[in-house]
A and B are shown apart, each in its own frame.
Chain A
Amino acid sequence: AQSVAQPEDQVNVAEGNPLTVKCTYSVSGNPYLFWYVQYPNRGLQFLLKYITGDNLVKGSYGFEAEFNKSQTSFHLKKPSALVSDSALYFCAVRISDSWGKFQFGAGTQVVVTP
């Protein structure tokens, strides 16, 4: 069974500092990994994905993620966090041959303080 784990319920970071949100995965076959962000009272917004190719994936709003096969990780990173990055972040893995079916991680609340 496909699954992802987000070990941190919350990450606190000062504005301007690097931000990392951790995700590890367990899949059979090729891992198709995604990051989504959820702002209060809004739906999920796609940030980035790893399907194949370069291990470093660049996405929206200055975010990037590094796929590490040996460590089965897909950590989300941003070099310099903004207060507006405060939101709930979900790591997800595709769980079938459909691009719309995901197993989501528990989510990590990111709090960026001025």
Chain B
Amino acid sequence: SAVISQKPSRDICQRGTSLTIQCQVDSQVTMMFWYRQQPGQSLTLIATANQGSEATYESGFVIDKFPISRPNLTFSTLTVSNMSPEDSSIYLCSVERPRGNTEAFFGQGTRLTVV
């Protein structure tokens, strides 16, 4: 199974600031995905990150608020910009299982609290 490392695991941030979350995978993967889990809620897909191209955002999410980088096949970052308390969530990255198998792996998540 793929090993996914997310940093930081948690953070408390002031409103109006930005936080960059890192996701490192131990093998090369084509697609990486970022999800948000608001308190007491399910997971919602933010965007898909492909190496060498701009991320594809889901409805309700925009690049200015959640810029994503994907510099290589093992790494991605998600930035939560100009944060407000409504951004307090768990942010998770996930990857397709290598070699085209059919389940995804998830990182441990980043628990963000905006005060």
Q: Which of B12-20, B63-71, B77-85, B104-112 contacts A (4 or more CB under 8 A)?
A: B104-112
State A49–B107 Cα separation when bound (angstroms): 19
With contacts A43-B92, A44-B92, A46-B103 taken as known, whether A101 is within 8 angstroms of B109 at the C-beta atoms is no
Majority SS of interface residues in chain B? strand
State A44–B100 Cα separation when bound (angstroms): 19
Q: A107 near B42 (CB under 8 angstroms)?
A: yes
CB distance from B108 to the nearest CB of A (A): 4
CB contact list, A39-69 vs B, under 8 A: 41-46, 49, 51
Q: A43 near B107 (CB under 8 angstroms)?
A: yes
Query: B21 at interface (Cβ–Cβ under 8 A)?
Result: no
Q: B103 near A49 (CB under 8 angstroms)?
A: yes
Query: B7 at interface (Cβ–Cβ under 8 A)?
Result: no
B62 — which chain A residues lie within 8 A by C-beta? none
Residue of B4, B43, B95, B106 ringed by the most chain A CB atoms within 10 A: B43
State A36–B94 Cα separation when bound (angstroms): 13
State A107–B35 Cα separation when bound (angstroms): 15
Size bracket, chain A contacts? 20 to 34
B31 — which chain A residues lie within 8 A by C-beta? 98, 100
CB contact list, B7-54 vs A, under 8 A: 31-33, 41-45, 48
Q: A43 near B48 (CB under 8 angstroms)?
A: no
With contacts A43-B108, A98-B31 taken as known, whether A104 is within 8 angstroms of B102 at the C-beta atoms is no
CB contact list, A78-95 vs B, under 8 A: 90, 95
Q: A98 near B96 (CB under 8 angstroms)?
A: yes
With contacts A43-B106, A43-B109, A46-B105 taken as known, whether A104 is within 8 angstroms of B43 at the C-beta atoms is yes
CB distance from B35 to the nearest CB of A (A): 8
State A81–B91 Cα separation when bound (angstroms): 30
A99 — which chain B residues lie within 8 A by C-beta? 96-97, 100-104
State A90–B48 Cα separation when bound (angstroms): 20
A42 — which chain B residues lie within 8 A by C-beta? 108-109
State A45–B101 Cα separation when bound (angstroms): 16
State A90–B37 Cα separation when bound (angstroms): 12
Residues of A within 8 A of B (CB): 32, 34, 36, 41-46, 49, 51, 90, 95, 98-107
